[in-house]
A and B are shown apart, each in its own frame.
Chain A
Amino acid sequence: MSLENETKQTESPLEKAKRLKAEKEARDGANAEAEAEKQATAQAKTEKLGTLNSHKQDLENQLNEIDIKIEASKGEAHETRDTMQEAGLDKDSEFKDEYDLTISEVAGNLNGLRNERNEIKTKLEQINLEIENFGINEAVSEGKKETQEAVSSADQENEEAISQVKNYPGAEAGDIKTAEEVAAETSGKINQTVENSEKTVNELVNNNEKIEKGEAQELKEFKDFKDFFEKNTEGINGSKGLSANEFLKNYLSEKYPKMDKDSQEYNDKWTGIALASKFNNINESPYIKSKYSKGLDFEEFKNNRKELTEKSNLFNVIGKVKAQMLEKKTETQEYQKNIIEKIKSDEKYKNEFTENFKNNGFKAGDSELINNLYAKGLISIDDVAKGLAIYEKEGISKLRNLSPAILENLNQANINTGDGQKLPFKILLDKYAKDENTHPSLETKNWPEMTLAYAAPAAFATRIAGKRFSNELAQVWNENFKQLTDKIVAKGPECAADLVKNLGGNLEQSILTDKRLKIIVGQYAKHRFGKIGGNNGEMVAAETSRRLENLVEAGVMTREEIDNIYERALE
C-alpha cells in the first residue's frame, strides 16, 4: 500500500475537506494563471500585428509622398531642360558648362528621390511579407519555444537521473557509467527529433507545394477528355465537324454510360471539364506566363477566375495595341522616308507637296515630316507658317508637335493673306489668346475640368506667345491655367475619367502646360482599365491604351511612366 493511500485512510472528513479545498484552489489558480498567460500572449500578438500594420501604413504614405515628389521633380527637370534648350544654352559654348552642371543637378535630385523610393518599396515589401506570414511565424516561434522548454527539462532530468544513480546506496562505477550513457542517448535522440521537426517545418514554410493535395479531380478528368479528343480526331477525318460540346457529350457517354444526364453529378463533370479547359488556356496566356513562373495553381484559378481572366485579357489588349502602334510607327517612318527622298530628287513633286501643304495644311501625323523637311532645308519657314495659318484657331494645336527650330523661327515668318498683304505670324497667336470663348473661367464651379479642356490649347498658345513675343496676356492665361489645374488635382480620382475624356485631343497640351496632370492620367487609366470585365470592356481598354501610347509618341509622358500605369492596372 502506498504512503499516499495510507495518509488518505487516516485523515478525518474535515482534513479531507481541507485537502480537497486546497487541491481545488491550486488547480483553479493554475488554470487562471494559464488563461492569463494565454490572454497576454494573444494581446501581445495583436499588438505586434497592429505595429506591423501601422508601420505598413506609414511606408505606404511615404511611398505616395515620394511618388508625388518624383512627379514634381520630373516636371521641374523637364522644364529646366526645356528652358535652357529654348534659350540655346546647350549649344552656346559660354553657357554649355553651366547647362551640363544644371542638368546633372536636376538628374541627381531625381535619382536621389528614386533611390529613396526604392528603399521605401523594399521596406514595404518586407513588411508585407511579415504581415502575410505573421500567423505562420507566430506558430513557428511558439512551437520552437515549447520544444525548447521540453528539451531544457529533459536535460535537467538527465542530470538528476545521473545524480540519483550516483547517490543510490550500492551504486558502482559501472552503474554510473550506464546511467551516463542512457542520459547521453536520451539527449541525442531528443536532439535528432528536434532537428527533424525543424527541417520539416522549414520545408513547409518555404515550399507551398508540400501542402497541396495533389492534382485536382477536374484536371485529371480534363486530361482523360483530351486523350479521348485526340484519339477521336486522329487521321484524315479530323474533328468530323463536331463541336467541342458534342465531343464532351460523347466522352461523358462513353466513360459514364450509366450516368443520368440530368443528374447533378453529370452536370458537375461537365462544368469541371469546362473549367479545367479554361484553366489550361489561361495558363498558356502571356499574362500568366509573365506573372507565374511555375504556372498558375488550379485552386487559385478557381478562387480568382474572374480577376485573373480580366487581367489576362487586359494584358493581351495592351500588348495588341502596343504592337499595332509599333507597326503604324514603322509605316509612318517608311512613308516619311519615301516622301523626303522624292522631295529631294524631284523638284516638281517638291513644289506640288509645298503648295498642297500651304493650301490644305497637315495630314495626320505630318508634324514630324514637316520637322524633318525644315531641318533638311526642304521647306521654308514662310511655307510652314502658311500651312499653320489656314487652321486659324486650330493651328495652335498643330504647333505642339513642331520642332524647337521651327518654333524659334516662326516669329520671323510672314503669312500671305491673299490680298497682297503679309502679316507676322504672331497675329494668329494673339488672336487666339485673346479669344473670350477660350478664356479659362474660374467661375465654373462644378466642372472646372470642362473649362480646362478649352483652356489647355489657349494656355499653350499664350505660353509660346509669351516666350516668343513677350505678350503680357500670357502671364494672365498661365496663372489662370495653374489655378484651374490646382482645382483639378485637388479633386483627385473622382473627376479623372471625366477630365481626360473632356480634355480629348487637348490632353497633350494640358500635360505640357502642367505636368501634375500626369497623375490624373494614371487615375483615368485605372478607372477605364477597371471596366475590362464589363460590356465593351476590351474596346474601352484598347482605346485607353491607345491614348496612353499616344502620350508617349507625343513625348509628354515617358515609356516608363506609361508602363508603370499598365503595371499598376495588372497588379
Chain B
Amino acid sequence: MTPKKTDQNTKKINLIKDIYKQTLIDINNVRKERDKKIKDILKNIDKKHAGKILQDIKKLK
C-alpha cells in the first residue's frame, strides 16, 4: 500500500469512528428526551391523581 493510501485509510478510519461515536451520542440524547417525556407523563398522572383525591376529600366534607 502506498503511503498516500495508508494516510487516506487512517483518515477514513478516524472519520468512521467519529461518525459512530456521534451516532451513539445522538441515540443517547433521544433516549434522554424520551425519559424526560415519560417522567412528565408520570408527573401528570400523579398530578391528576392528587387532584382527584382532593376533589374526593372536598366532597366528603
Contact = CB atoms under 8 A, between A and B. Distances in A.
Interface of A: 132-133, 135-136, 139-140, 142-144, 146-147, 150-151, 154, 157-158, 161, 164-165, 168-172, 175, 178-179, 182-183, 185-186, 189-190, 193-194, 197, 200-201, 204-205, 208, 211, 297, 299-300, 303-304
A185 B3 CA distance: 46
27 contacts: A139-B16, A139-B20, A140-B16, A144-B20, A147-B20, A147-B23, A154-B27, A154-B31, A157-B34, A161-B38, A165-B45, A169-B45, A170-B45, A170-B48, A171-B45, A175-B41, A179-B41, A186-B31, A190-B30, A194-B27, A197-B20, A204-B16, A205-B12, A205-B16, A211-B11, A300-B2, A304-B2
A304 B41 contact: no
Nearest to A298: B4
Interface of B: 1-5, 7-13, 15-17, 19-20, 22-24, 26-28, 30-31, 33-35, 37-38, 41-42, 44-46, 48-49, 52
Nearest to B48: A170
Given A139-B17, A299-B7, 10 more contacts: A147-B27, A154-B34, A165-B38, A165-B42, A170-B45, A171-B45, A193-B26, A197-B22, A201-B19, A204-B15
A168 B4 contact: no
Contacts of A197: 19-20, 22-23, 26
Given A143-B17, A146-B24, A197-B22, A136 B9 contact: yes
Interface centre among B2, B5, B16, B26 (most CB of A within 10 A): B16
A182 B34 contact: yes
Nearest to A170: B49
B27 A190 contact: yes
B8, B17, B19 interface centre (most CB from chain A within 10 Å): B19
A276 to B, nearest CB: 17
B38 A201 contact: no
B12 A182 contact: no
B45 to A, nearest CB: 5
B16 A143 contact: yes
Closest 9 CB pairs of A and B: A143-B20, A170-B49, A197-B23, A186-B34, A300-B4, A139-B16, A193-B26, A182-B37, A161-B38
Contacts of B3: 303-304
B44 to A, nearest CB: 7
A163 to B, nearest CB: 11
A170 B53 CA distance: 11
A56 to B, nearest CB: 13
Contact of A193 (B23, B41, B49): B23
Nearest to B28: A150
A325 B24 CA distance: 65
B38 A164 contact: yes
B8 A157 contact: no
A200 B28 contact: no
Contacts of A205: 12, 16
Contacts of B49: 169-170
B42 to A, nearest CB: 6
A193 B16 contact: no
Contacts of A304: 2-4
Contacts of B41: 165, 175, 178-179, 182
A132 B5 contact: yes
Contacts of A204: 12, 15-16, 19
Contacts of A193: 23, 26-27, 30
